[in-house]
């Protein structure tokens, strides 16, 4: 259970929140004008990176507000939270925080508990 | 050769009685089961997992692999570690995994058959024939292999407790206490957690330390504990085991509230502590490991430090003349302890060269004339259910000794379990021959032997240095030792057997009966990765997680693979540290607290009128009402359905979700959320509406009431209400924040009754004499608000049965009163209550769908032929674009149709397949072409034959055609005709007149 800092309520246990998948996927203004491929990408395609990920959370057992978070998916560290109407933080802000548990490589899920 | 008592302040001299395998024994208050049994000279306490070999007490703590027992007096709690479970008067215990008795166990035949039970035996052997696994192999294996029997049903009262602290110190031993001392009267909030019921760790378990700061260990513990207790910022939890170290310094610890006491069923027996901390100090010490040799599992073989712990902590000397076998310098304290008690070891076997052995040890052995074997090892031991003879190899010569106990020390492993759970990195240390913590991933500090520091003299500096990040004063520890300052060890994991035999075993995992031979075989078969090898051999996969043996197996494997141990790596340490009861995890969330039940305001009436309930989400809804004691569900539903279409029936629909939508842009919002067009809809009218996902699939349905363009009320399915509200809220906040709309769940603000049937209008006029219910004044799909007594009600004309119907909304406070009023007025019209099953039958007759029954997340409104519900002129709504995706516009999608049996006596069952064959082949060789499935099937009492709704590929173009429906347990299929899915009143005359 990680701690998540709701931008409205403050730090709370993860069990109070629900994850809403990738953030900054904007619903097209005029879906009718989109090709099947473009629409299909909006509906079905999401990124799932190992590392820095911009994602949505909702404080579902709290204030019920949606907000965005930047999480390092390989360490589960939440690096930043921001309101929906706030600007997306730049990727370069998190350059130095890119570490993974036990120093494992960014790709693959090795078991490296032992320091080399 | 028998045990003797030693004076010990942790054990009271109060004698109590315990029962083990039916016999009564005397024990002391404060004993564990293991110390009590040793006191009574009982060495054989269980049978092993696979080979049913006789096993005894191997350790004196949480690491125990063998001595697992079942506590009869605690609802048969199985797999309890005898080495930590404290006894109380009258405690009843049995041994496990033996039949008919511990001494004469039938399953021991597995030991004789053992050469065939090697690694991977199950995978290789139980391959077929078909059905044998389920019916023969698995029940047989489950019977003979295993642990205790499941416990009896009981209601646990365990609780959860939450903590937020600055520092958690895990382990109240020497390092933990010294660390806690630093925090006395500081601003830090500290929690000190100790697994035992006494603080002190190594200080109370051994005589390794003579004095601290001039005090005896016991005096120092008492003084320190008192200082801590007087300091308001430090709390101590005893009898508490930290089992889990999660991310963000979240710890889980289990407290046994009844250690050494009989459980009081009215009190909480376990507390699960959930701790959030800023810093964690791990000082949970070390675990001694064993050495593999022939028959190293015989009762009587025990770890050396455990033997010493029984003497100091529990006041029992299990044997006066044991043989000591060691590869390191720490066994000196056991030697000294025994000598001080007037006992004399039978022999001292040290694998180190004579020159490397400490002078002090050699001097004692010489003075006391104890047989001394240096540069030697134990080849093995023999005996019937106990150690009887011991074989010592020194060079090429063998010495045979008679002794009943063998104390083994293979070195010490820092207890890195919690540290690696926290994702810290460990590193191999050549000086102590073990892994020790290296880089922490979280704010974790390890102290003392946990950190690989086996030098007591350096402990003080270590603590002061590592805790210098805190604003605390320095501590000083002046320690006088009984053991050598410098830890010395020689690598030894397994001794060589004299003769090779298929039956001679040297174990690497005592709990799961894995031998060193199994490791070799697995590697030969190609399982050379440690994680594969672990799973193939089940090495260190027992409930002890290989605490005394896992490093040994890594070492043996690395030797075979000719690699460094650090290259082989460790397997992953996963929580929990030691098994914990599910009851503790569940806490109070059991029985009625597990999932709350929601009941409507009419619930008491339903109970009185013999309703049988169905769970819908958390709601309790009447399923059907029993007219008489013997009426079956089928009879009741047939009766209710017929009565309703003849007279009238009423359903408690209070569980339907209700959401109020208000605000300047409510109309625009509703047009976006639902498929239907609401713009031209007149105020105070209602409409059946559907909500889709962006993929075009139906998510929910309900009736939308439009009060004005700024005010709507939407009903949802009973179980879909929270999700619909959450989805609406999500779109409002994330996609359309410019819309000014407010949402409010009003499900519980109204009791809702659905009354329908041909006599409904008469009943309504009688209940509400002032309201005009004529068709002109109150047409279908309109609603009105009225004053009723001291409250307000809303009545809507709508129906889910296909008959004339009204829905009444009233505040729940007045619900029951109105419900009873309706019944007294409806009596002369034969008004009946009906449940959800009748509702389902009636709507199926009318061809209305149910979300989750006809739909399954892959159905669009077009598939249901509900094109009329789609606001085609609307530019956009959720899912609109998806209705013209190539996949959703396919002609051969599964579409909704009705089914009629050609032979009217045939019954169409829900869930059956629709096929082209009138009979299934006896043996199916090729796949049978599948056209679709029956989504609803009922016997219609009003048509007097079976009807069905089905989802069939390209169904819309198949009307009038003949197909077949499969039937349970038969190869002969039922011929059916595909028809329009409306069986009653297709012109909607009943609804609208």
**Once rounded to an integer, what is the mean pLDDT over residues B575-593?**
91
Domain ranges of chain A: 3-103
Contact flag B570-A34 (C-beta cutoff 8 Å):
no
Assign A110 a pLDDT band (cuts: 50, 70, 90): very low
Burial pattern B154-170, b for ≥16 Cβ within 10 A else e, equals: eebbbbbeebebbbbbb
Summarize pLDDT for B432-455 with one digit per residue, the tens: 999 999 988 889 999 999 999 999
Residues of B in contact with A56 (CB under 8 A): 734
Q: How far apart are CA B145 and CA B320, in angstroms?
A: 35
Which helix (H) or strand (E) segment is B245 a member of? strand B240-246
**What's residue B469's pLDDT?**
96
| CB nearest B423 (choices: A1, A26, A102) | A102
Bridge-partner residues for B783, per DSSP?
B796
**What's residue B559's pLDDT?**
94
**Once rounded to an integer, what is the mean pLDDT over residues B263-271?**
91
**What's residue B345's pLDDT?**
96
CA distance A92 to chain B (A): 23
Q: Is A64 on the interface with B (CB under 8 A)?
A: yes
Summarize pLDDT for B614-624 with one digit per residue, the tens: 999 899 999 99
**Strands B190-193, B234-237: pairing kind:** parallel
**What's residue A105's pLDDT?**
47
User: Which residues touch B729 (CB under 8 Å, ≥6 apart)?
Assistant: A64, B743
Q: Is the pLDDT of residue A109 over 50?
A: no
Q: Is A19 on the interface with B (CB under 8 A)?
A: no
Q: Is B885 on the interface with A (CB under 8 A)?
A: yes
Residues of A in contact with B877 (CB under 8 A): none
Per the CB < 8 A criterion, the answer to whether B304 and B470 are in contact is no
Of residues B656, B688, B633, the one with CA closest to residue B835: B633
**Strands A10-13, B68-71: pairing kind:** unpaired
What whole-number percentage of chain B has pLDDT above 70? Answer: 99
Residue with tokens 């002090």: B360
Summarize pLDDT for B18-66 with one digit per residue, the tens: 999 999 999 999 999 999 999 999 999 999 988 889 999 999 999 999 9
Q: What is the CA radius of gyration of chain B?
A: 38
Per the CB < 8 A criterion, the answer to whether B221 and B247 are in contact is no
**What's residue A112's pLDDT?**
56
Q: Is the pLDDT of residue B829 over 90?
A: yes
Q: Is B422 on the interface with A (CB under 8 A)?
A: no
| CB nearest A40 (choices: B248, B428, B885) | B885
**What's residue A106's pLDDT?**
44
The ipTM is 0.92
Residue with tokens 């050495």: B291
Contact flag A39-B885 (C-beta cutoff 8 Å):
yes
Summarize pLDDT for B70-91 with one digit per residue, the tens: 999 999 999 999 999 999 999 9
Cβ-count burial of B811 within 10 angstroms (0-12 exposed, 13-18 middle, 19+ buried)? middle
How many other CB atoms sit within 10 Å of the CB of residue A107? 9
**Once rounded to an integer, what is the mean pLDDT over residues B376-384?**
96
Show the tokens assigned to B514: 């894995």
CA distance B178 to chain A (A): 29
Show the tokens assigned to B13: 């001299």
Q: What is the mean pLDDT of chain B?
A: 94
Residues of A in contact with B858 (CB under 8 A): none
CA-CA distances (angstroms) from residue B579 to A106, B243, B258, B633, B637?
33, 8, 17, 45, 50
| CB nearest B425 (choices: A42, A66, A103) | A103
Cite the DSSP H helix spans in B751-811.
760-767
Contact flag A43-B695 (C-beta cutoff 8 Å):
yes
Q: Is A36 on the interface with B (CB under 8 A)?
A: yes
Which is more confident, B119 or A76?
A: A76
Of residues B440, B480, B473, the one with CA closest to residue B459: B480
**What's residue B689's pLDDT?**
96
Residues of A in contact with B566 (CB under 8 A): 114-116
**Complete domains list, chain B, with CATH:** 4-109 (3.10.20.440), 155-284+412-486 (3.50.50.60), 603-654+750-843 (3.30.1360.120), 657-748 (3.30.70.1400), 890-991 (2.40.30.110)
Summarize pLDDT for B127-169 with one digit per residue, the tens: 667 777 777 777 777 666 668 888 888 888 999 999 999 999 9
User: Which residues touch B401 (CB under 8 Å, ≥6 apart)?
Assistant: B323, B346, B347, B371, B389, B390, B391, B392
Summarize pLDDT for B167-176 with one digit per residue, the tens: 999 999 999 9
How many other CB atoms sit within 10 Å of the CB of residue B299? 24
pTM of the model: 0.88
Of residues B116, B110, B111, B78, the one with CA closest to residue B94: B78
User: Which residues touch A32 (CB under 8 Å, ≥6 apart)?
Assistant: B875, B876, B880, B881
Summarize pLDDT for B771-813 with one digit per residue, the tens: 999 999 999 999 999 999 999 999 999 999 999 999 999 999 9
User: Which residues touch B538 (CB under 8 Å, ≥6 apart)?
Assistant: B509, B512, B514
Chain B contact probe: residue of A27, A29, A78, A114 with most B CBs at under 10 A? A114
**Once rounded to an integer, what is the mean pLDDT over residues A104-113?**
47
Q: What is the CATH number of domain A3-103?
A: 3.30.2270.10
**What's residue A116's pLDDT?**
55
Of residues B801, B755, B752, the one with CA closest to residue B653: B752
**Once rounded to an integer, what is the mean pLDDT over residues B248-268?**
93
| CB nearest B427 (choices: A2, A27, A115) | A115
Contact flag B875-A65 (C-beta cutoff 8 Å):
no
């Amino acid at each position: 259970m990680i701690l998540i800092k709701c931008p409205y309520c403050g730090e709370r246990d993860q069990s109070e929140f629900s994850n809403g998948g990738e953030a900054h996927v904007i619903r097209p203004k005029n879906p009718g004008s989109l090709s099947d491929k473009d629409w299909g990408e909006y509906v079905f395609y999401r990124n799932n990176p190992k590392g820095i990920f911009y994602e949505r959370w909702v404080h579902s057992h709290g204030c019920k507000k949606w907000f965005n978070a930047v999480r390092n998916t390989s360490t589960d560290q939440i690096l930043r939270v921001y309101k929906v109407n706030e600007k997306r933080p730049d990727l370069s802000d998190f350059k130095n925080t890119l570490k993974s548990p036990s120093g494992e490589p960014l790709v693959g899920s090795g078991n490296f508990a032992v320091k080399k | 050769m028998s045990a003797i008592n030693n004076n010990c302040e942790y054990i009271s001299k109060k004698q109590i009685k315990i029962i083990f395998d039916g016999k009564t024994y005397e024990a002391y208050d404060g004993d564990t089961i293991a110390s009590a049994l040793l006191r009574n000279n009982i060495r054989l306490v269980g049978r092993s997992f696979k080979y049913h070999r006789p096993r005894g007490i191997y350790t004196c703590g949480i690491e125990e692999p063998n001595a697992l027992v079942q506590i009869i007096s605690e609802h048969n709690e199985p797999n309890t570690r005898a080495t930590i479970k404290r006894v109380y008067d009258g405690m009843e215990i049995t041994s496990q995994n033996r039949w008919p008795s511990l001494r004469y166990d039938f399953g021991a035949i597995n030991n004789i058959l053992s050469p065939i039970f090697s690694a991977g035996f199950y995978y290789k052997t139980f391959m077929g024939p078909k059905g044998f696994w389920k019916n023969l192999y698995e029940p047989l294996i489950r019977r003979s292999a295993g642990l205790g029997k499941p416990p009896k049903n009981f209601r646990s009262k365990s609780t959860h407790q939450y903590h937020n602290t600055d520092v958690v110190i895990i382990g109240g031993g020497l390092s933990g206490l010294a660390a806690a001392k630093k925090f006395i009267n500081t601003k830090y909030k500290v929690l000190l957690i100790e697994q035992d019921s006494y603080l002190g760790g190594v200080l109370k378990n051994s005589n390794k330390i003579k004095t601290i700061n001039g005090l005896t260990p016991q005096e120092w513990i008492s003084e320190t504990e008192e200082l801590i207790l007087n300091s308001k910022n430090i709390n101590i939890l005893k009898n508490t085991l930290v089992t889990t170290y999660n991310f963000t310094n979240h710890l889980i610890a289990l407290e046994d509230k009844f250690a050494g006491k009989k459980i009081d069923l009215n009190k909480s027996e376990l507390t699960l502590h959930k701790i959030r901390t800023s810093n964690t100090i791990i000082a949970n010490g070390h675990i001694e490991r064993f050495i593999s040799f022939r028959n190293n599992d015989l009762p009587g073989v025990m770890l050396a430090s455990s033997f010493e712990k029984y003497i100091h902590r529990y006041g029992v000397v299990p044997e006066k003349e044991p043989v000591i076998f060691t590869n390191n310098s720490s066994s000196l304290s056991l030697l000294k302890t025994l000598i001080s008690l007037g006992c004399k070891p039978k022999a001292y076997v040290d694998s180190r060269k004579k020159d490397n052995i400490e002078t002090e040890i050699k001097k004692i052995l010489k003075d006391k004339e104890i047989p001394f074997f240096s540069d030697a090892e134990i080849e093995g031991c023999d005996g019937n259910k106990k150690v009887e003879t011991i074989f010592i190899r020194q060079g090429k010569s063998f010495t045979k000794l008679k002794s009943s106990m063998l104390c083994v020390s293979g070195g010490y492993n820092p207890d890195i379990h919690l540290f690696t759970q926290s994702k810290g990195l460990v590193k191999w240390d050549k000086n102590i021959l073990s892994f020790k913590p290296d880089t922490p991933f979280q704010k974790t500090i390890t102290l003392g032997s946990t950190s690989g520091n086996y030098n007591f003299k350096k402990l003080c500096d270590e603590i002061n240095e590592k805790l210098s990040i805190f604003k605390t004063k320095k501590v000083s520890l002046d320690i006088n030792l009984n053991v050598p300052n410098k830890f010395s060890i020689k690598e030894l994991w397994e001794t060589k057997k004299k003769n090779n035999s298929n039956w001679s075993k040297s174990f690497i995992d005592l709990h799961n009966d894995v031998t060193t031979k199994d490791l070799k075989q697995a590697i030969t078969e190609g399982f050379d990765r440690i994680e594969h090898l672990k799973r193939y051999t089940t090495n260190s996969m027992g409930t002890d997680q290989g605490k005394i043996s896992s490093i040994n197996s890594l070492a043996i494997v690395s030797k075979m693979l000719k690699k460094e141990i650090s290259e082989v790596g460790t397997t992953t340490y996963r929580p929990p540290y030691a098994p914990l009861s599910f009851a503790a995890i569940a806490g109070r969330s059991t029985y009625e607290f597990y999932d709350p039940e929601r009941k409507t305001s009419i619930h008491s009436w339903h109970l009185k009128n013999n309703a049988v309930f169905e769970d819908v989400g958390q709601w309790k809804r009447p399923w059907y009402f029993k007219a008489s004691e013997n009426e079956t569900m089928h009879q009741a539903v047939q009766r209710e359905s017929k009565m309703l279409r003849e007279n009238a029936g009423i359903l408690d629909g209070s569980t339907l979700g209700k959401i109020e939508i208000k605000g300047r842009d409510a109309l625009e919002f509703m047009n976006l959320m639902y498929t239907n067009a609401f713009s031209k809809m007149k105020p105070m009218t209602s409409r059946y509406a559907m909500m889709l996902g962006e993929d075009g699939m139906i998510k929910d349905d309900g009736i939308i009431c439009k009060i004005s363009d700024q005010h709507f009320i939407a009903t949802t399915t009973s179980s879909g209400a929270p999700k619909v509200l959450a989805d609406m809220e999500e779109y409002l906040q994330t996609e359309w924040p410019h819309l000014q709309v407010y949402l409010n769940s009003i499900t519980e603000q109204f009791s809702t009754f659905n009354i329908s049937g041909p006599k409904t209008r008469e009943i309504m006029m009688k209940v509400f004499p002032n309201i005009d219910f004529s068709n002109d004044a109150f047409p279908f799909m309109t609603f009105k608000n009225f004053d009723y007594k001291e409250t307000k009600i809303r009545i809507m004309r709508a129906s889910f049965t296909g008959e004339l119907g009204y829905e009444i909304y009233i505040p729940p406070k007045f619900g029951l009163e109105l419900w009873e009023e309706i019944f007294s007025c409806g009596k002369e019209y034969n008004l009946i209550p009906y449940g959800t099953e009748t509702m389902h039958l009636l709507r199926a007759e009318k061809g209305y769908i149910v979300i989750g029954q006809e739909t399954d997340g892959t159905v669009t409104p077009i598939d249901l032929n509900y094109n009329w519900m789609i606001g085609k002129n609307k530019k956009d709504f959720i899912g609109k674009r998806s209705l013209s995706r190539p996949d959703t516009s396919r002609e051969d999608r599964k579409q909704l149709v009705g089914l009629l049996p050609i032979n009217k006596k045939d019954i169409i069952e829900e869930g059956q397949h629709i096929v082209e064959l009138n009979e299934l082949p006896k043996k199916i060789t090729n796949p049978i072409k599948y056209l679709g499935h029956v989504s609803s099937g009922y016997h219609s009492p009003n048509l007097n034959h079976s009807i069905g709704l089905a989802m069939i590929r390209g169904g819309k173009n198949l009307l009038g055609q003949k197909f077949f429906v499969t039937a349970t347990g038969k190869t002969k299929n039922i011929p059916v005709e595909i028809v329009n899915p409306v069986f009653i009143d297709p012109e909607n005359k009943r609804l609208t007149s």
